Amino acid sequence: MLDPRVTERRNPRSADIDLASQLAIVDLINAEDRSVADAVATQREPIARAIELAEAAFRSGNRLFYVGAGTSGRLGVLDASECPPTFGSDPEMVQGIIAGGPAALVRSQENAEDRPDGAEADLKAAGVRAGDFVLGIAASGTTPYVWAALAHARRMGARTGILACSPPAPERVADVDVAILPITGPEVVTGSTRLKAGTATKLVLNTITTGAMVRLGKTYGNLMVDMQATNEKLRDRAERLVMTTCALDRPAARTLLASAGGHVKVAITMHKLGLDRDAARAKLDAAGGVIRRVVADAPPPVEQA
């Protein structure tokens, strides 16, 4: 019987993969992967809507929650965990909730996705409230844990969305504020949604958080000016950013960064407007954090290799 979930169907192109050479396996998987970006591109409008919902949540002091099980849950936790070091965001702003809890990040807890009662408890523990945006991630479109989480989020007054690589039931799609459905087709290994579906999921999540953070002013052009300089590599990057944007040598950039409390965006604003740290922060806050609304200069042109 043909499974209605696209992600559970057999892929005719990989039916003989068990007879393939190492190189043939690489070529087969790579050929399948090439279709993933096109599938994601079909969802450009709902992804943009998700960016809008995430930005609105952030600007009102609320949060973005990813909720999923298995690979979907792990990818949500991964994207959430990468936002603070990349954008200098509060760890509370983007959070990942995975069925089975933290243990499921490193060891499969497959039965956790079938426990809808666990979803409500997990969202209550996270304090999901009105104004938050909760995005459920369910590659197959059917995960009970995810749909229970979305139902609870709606009851709390949160906005909701679903990200799935197989079309969910229409009545379920009608219940959410946004549905992102990159249909990636049958996997190379039947049902292994860590493959194409997982790649599509990561692309979508990267786009949502990057888009929302850019809209919040976390970049200056495409420069990462709100990052946290927490190690030597990032401290070097912060100094180079200030050197490039303010035309300073490294010692001067280091001094300016120190006076800005290590914050690149504040340092740039201080230098370009001749302000002290508090005044620069006040200017940025009044402009919604967007540096281009405060500093008239465009970022320096891209250096050609």
Q: What is the pLDDT of residues 75-112, one digit of tens each?
A: 999 999 999 988 989 999 999 999 999 888 887 766 65
**Which H helix or E strand runs over 132?**
none
* pLDDT, position 10: 81
Residues with a catalytic annotation lie at: 82, 113
* pLDDT, position 64: 98
CA dihedral 154, 81, 37, 7 (to 10 degrees): -60
Based on DSSP, count helices (H) and strands (E) in the chain, helices before strands.
12, 7
pLDDT in tens, 3-36: 778 887 788 787 888 899 999 999 999 999 999 9
Nearest of 180, 187, 291 to residue 245 by alpha carbon = 291
Q: What are the mean pLDDT values of the chain's consecutive 10-residue runs (305 residues total)?
A: 76 84 94 96 98 97 96 96 91 96 80 74 96 96 94 97 95 96 90 91 98 94 82 89 94 94 92 96 92 88 72
* Domains of the chain from N-terminus onward: 6-215 (3.40.50.10490), 219-293 (1.10.8.1080)
